[in-house]
Amino acid sequence: MIPPTKRRAALLLSTAPVVTLMLVAQGVAATRHHKPHASGTAARQTPTASNRPATALPAASRPGTASQRRRVDAVEASGDGEQIIATARRTRSEQSVGHAEMQRILPGINPIKALSILPGVVYNDADPWGNNEQNASLFIHGFNQNQLGFTLDGIPLGDQAYGNYNGLTPQRAIISENVASASVATGAGALGTASTSNLGGTLQFESGDPKHKMGGQLAQTFGSWSTFRTFARVDTGDFGNGNSAYISWARQDARAWDFAGHQGGNQVNAKFVHQTSHDKLTWFFDWSNKVEPNEDSIVLPNGYGTYVRPFVYPDVNYAKSYYNNSSAYIASGLNYRNYYSAAQREDYLTYLSWNHDFSSHLHWDNRFYYHHDLGEGVVAGPITAAGLPTLFSAYFPNQNLNQVFGGSNLATRTTEYWDNRGGVISTLRYELGNHHLELGGWYERNNNTQARRWYPFSFSDPTTPYDRQQNALIDQYTNNFYTNTWVTHLQDSWKVSKNFTLSAGFKSELVYTNGTLPVAGKPGSLSPKSAVTVPGGTVAAVRPFLPSFGALWNITPNEQWFANIQENMRAFQATGYGNATPWGATSQAAFDLFAKTGKPETSWTYETGLRSHHHLHFGPLTDIQGQIEYYHVHFSNRLIAIATTKTLSWIVGSATTLANVGSVSTDGMDFSFTMQFGPHFSFYNALSYNKSIYNDNYASGSSVVHTAGMNVTGTPDWTEKFVGSTYWGDFTAQFIGQTYGKRYTTYTNDMWANPYTLFSVNAGYTIHGIPHIPALHVQGNITNLTDEKGWSTVSTTQNSGQFSAFPIAPRMFFLTLGASW
């Protein structure tokens, strides 16, 4: 444990065998220790709190009297309180980053990006906050973001597909400043995780509860490229009968660093908590309205020295000459510039949770949720790109296409999303002697629509990346999907002895999706001309028995051994033509065959490791804690969409064949530790090794793609992260480094992205004594300190000799002023 200092900010990403919450103020440390259930499920923090992951405890679920909690809230309101995170007694590896550390890395950061300092987590994006969804990529132990599980307060966030169909990203689900903690289970998540995509690990995000003392927060961030981010929050404090609430608002506006688009939007959160001796009722609401203009990735290799591919908007005069077969347009080849592109997303998310304690041994937790998304991906680009003339001629034969689309040589393409989903999660926990029993169920109904449409574009009345398109010229195709998800789980954790626990359980996963095609692609409009969109039907992904086994041994009071074995299944993505989905089949017969014989992706995860935590008197070293983990994963029935043409399928729409291409084997190790040097310095380090290998070759048409023995694309073998921190009363500072090794970008491993290292620094100071403001916090951040150039997110491909990539954001400077009262 770090010795207390006055209003000290501390980073401790650790793996001690107990959950620790340290609140330090006025030179006095108030410390609480909680021993979770040995099964790996978090202990209930109070008789009325819900079962949260073992992370920092929100105010309403903290132990102690009401007066003690009010004192804690007063500390937090002044900016003095800090949350120090340690992993719980779990049979699997799980680590967390708390609210304070997330906001130090960069105020307003995407909580997924904050997790990238943890071992085994590889996150890339082309903006410093990690917010731009088109540019984002995430890998954990060889699995990408669509093969992981994501929840907010236990509510499912879907599989993070860029084309929305069953969820939303964490940064759209909650304002960054309202996140209390973010956790990642890098091997396999808990059985009760509400996800049907977590072949690999799970990422859990916890929102903070309202404070018990009335007050407010206001923060303003200024920075490079006209960054202007505002966050405001008002807490009611306790207003009788166990009630408290807050409402908050955030607005972000920042010019993209390599083009004239402005990225950001508005977001509102509200939360209400009613707590009694046996019940806790929570209501949460999120509204998010974001527009993210995007640049395109660079197609590599290229001979023009291209590093960025910005759009042309708003330079209408240049666009008029550029798209009229100018030499610059012709020479750019595949790296031609669109006039603009953007992701437009509006979301409403709400949930109501009720946690009831029948007794000290029997607890019942329930969550009811609803999510509505209205989204649009929009691109205004040249009508001569790829196979577009063929597509348009199918709808307007023997016509002047330039005149049809407004006389600009441009057309506007949209992919339009509409999603309504709602569900209920219920979990019953019973402590019977040395057994901790858990029975849970989750049901979700998801209705989603995806449509591809084309609109005219005229220079006399040009649209912008921020406009919603109206009056389509071509409704190319529309897919409707209706999905019913049923998941149940049962587990028992048996405390065999004081220091040894065994756990066993299973979950049943039943997912039924009915896909329909109210608008079919016109014959001859797709690529190849013989391709069709199919009516579809119902496909089931069903596994009634997915087992899990775990063990936990407290070898000494300071050392702990853990082990976990678990099987998981990923349901089919409810998306249509051109995607890795059954509904992208090239004929109805192919769809029917897959619906009858196709197998969903599954994985077996094996993980084991040691945790240690020691207080020392070894010169300047006063505390050390760490974890080392070995894991092995066998991933079966890997599904990919094999393109039937070499055209740019994301532009024109290319027919694909969904194919089972065999299995993947993964072996790796994660090692992390935190060393504390007295009250003023700490050093955190995380080293990871991952080796993920394709086990099989596969056929593409009449050719064989030789992938057996090749490395899985997109994920590096080695990563190294560190955080050096110093604390001097009201002053804190950090130096952060992240190194990513070589990443292969083609299935045949003939191309790759080079390793790179990014550094960042942050420093903050809290000023006290200002009239009517208990604390004023000033923080500066510099991202990409050395102005490293290279490739962040890489788009992997099954074709050899070519891949695409997004650039690393340049060095940027930010200043944040924050007041709380």
Ordered DSSP codes for 437-465: EEEEEEEEEEEEEEEEEEEE--TTS---T
Asked if residue 543 is part of any domain, the answer here is yes
Q: What is the CA radius of gyration of the chain?
A: 26
Asked if residue 343 is part of any domain, the answer here is yes
- Rounded Cα distance, 791 and 464, in Å: 28
- pLDDT tens digits, 73-130: 333 333 333 434 446 568 999 999 999 999 999 999 999 999 999 999 999 998 999 9
Asked if residue 670 is part of any domain, the answer here is yes
Check whether 676 has a pLDDT greater than 50: yes
Hey, how many other C-beta atoms are within 10 angstroms of the C-beta on 210?
27
Domain housing 156: 13-200+211-820
Check whether 549 has a pLDDT greater than 90: yes
- pLDDT tens digits, 47-61: 333 333 333 333 333
pLDDT of residue 333: 87
Q: Judge whether 463 and 469 are in contact, CB under 8 Å.
A: yes
Total count of domains within the chain: 1
At 251, give phi and psi (nearest 5°): -135, 130
Asked if residue 367 is part of any domain, the answer here is yes
Check whether 72 has a pLDDT greater than 50: no
Asked if residue 4 is part of any domain, the answer here is no
Hey, how many other C-beta atoms are within 10 angstroms of the C-beta on 274?
16
- pLDDT tens digits, 291-335: 999 989 998 887 557 899 999 999 999 999 999 989 999 988 889
CATH at 269: 2.40.170.20
Hey, how many other C-beta atoms are within 10 angstroms of the C-beta on 493?
23
- Rounded Cα distance, 660 and 235, in Å: 52
Q: What is the DSSP string of 593-629?
A: HHHHH---EEEEEEEEEEEEEEEEEETTEEEEEEEEE
- Rounded Cα distance, 447 and 773, in Å: 48
pLDDT of residue 87: 62
pLDDT of residue 30: 32
Q: How far is CA 385 from the centre of its chain?
A: 32
At 582, give phi and psi (nearest 5°): -60, -30
Residue 230 binned pLDDT confidence (cut-offs 50, 70, 90): very high
Q: Name the percent of the chain lying above pLDDT 90.
A: 78
Helical (H) or strand (E) element with 691? strand 681-694
Does the CA dihedral 70-73-78-82 come out positive or negative? positive
Select the more confidently predicted residue: 525 or 764: 764
Asked if residue 8 is part of any domain, the answer here is no
Check whether 265 has a pLDDT greater than 90: yes
- Which whole number is the average pLDDT over 15-24? 31
Q: Judge whether 660 and 615 are in contact, CB under 8 Å.
A: no
Residue carrying the six token digits 């040249």:
382
Mean pLDDT of the chain: 88
Q: And the tokens for 328?
A: 């610059």
Residue 530 binned pLDDT confidence (cut-offs 50, 70, 90): confident
Select the more confidently predicted residue: 259 or 46: 259
Tell me the sheet residues that pair with 441.
426, 488
Q: And the tokens for 736?
A: 């952060």
- pLDDT tens digits, 397-410: 999 999 999 999 99
Q: And the tokens for 637?
A: 């029935």
Which amino acid is it at 93? S
pLDDT of residue 385: 85
- Rounded Cα distance, 371 and 347, in Å: 7
Residue 170 binned pLDDT confidence (cut-offs 50, 70, 90): very high
Residue 673 binned pLDDT confidence (cut-offs 50, 70, 90): very high
> Do strands 149-152 and 202-207 pair parallel, antiparallel, or not at all (unpaired)?
parallel
pLDDT of residue 89: 66
pTM comes to: 0.90
Classify residue 505 by burial, with Cβ atoms within 10 Å: 0-12, 13-18, 19+.
Answer: buried
Asked if residue 5 is part of any domain, the answer here is no
Asked if residue 444 is part of any domain, the answer here is yes
Please report which residue ranges of 496-580 form alpha helices under DSSP H. Answer: none
Q: Judge whether 716 and 673 are in contact, CB under 8 Å.
A: no
- Rounded Cα distance, 745 and 765, in Å: 43
pLDDT of residue 650: 52
pLDDT of residue 88: 57
- pLDDT tens digits, 710-725: 999 999 999 999 999 9
149 vs 158, 239, 262, 570, CA distance in Å? Answer: 7, 37, 30, 10
Q: And the tokens for 781?
A: 């951040």
Q: Name the percent of the chain lying above pLDDT 70.
A: 88
- Which whole number is the average pLDDT over 619-628? 93
Residue carrying the six token digits 């858990």:
438
Residue 772 binned pLDDT confidence (cut-offs 50, 70, 90): confident
Helical (H) or strand (E) element with 133? none
pLDDT of residue 228: 97
Check whether 544 has a pLDDT greater than 60: yes
Length of the chain (residues): 821
Strands (E), 224-339: 227-235, 243-255, 262-275, 279-293, 298-300
Q: Judge whether 129 and 113 are in contact, CB under 8 Å.
A: yes
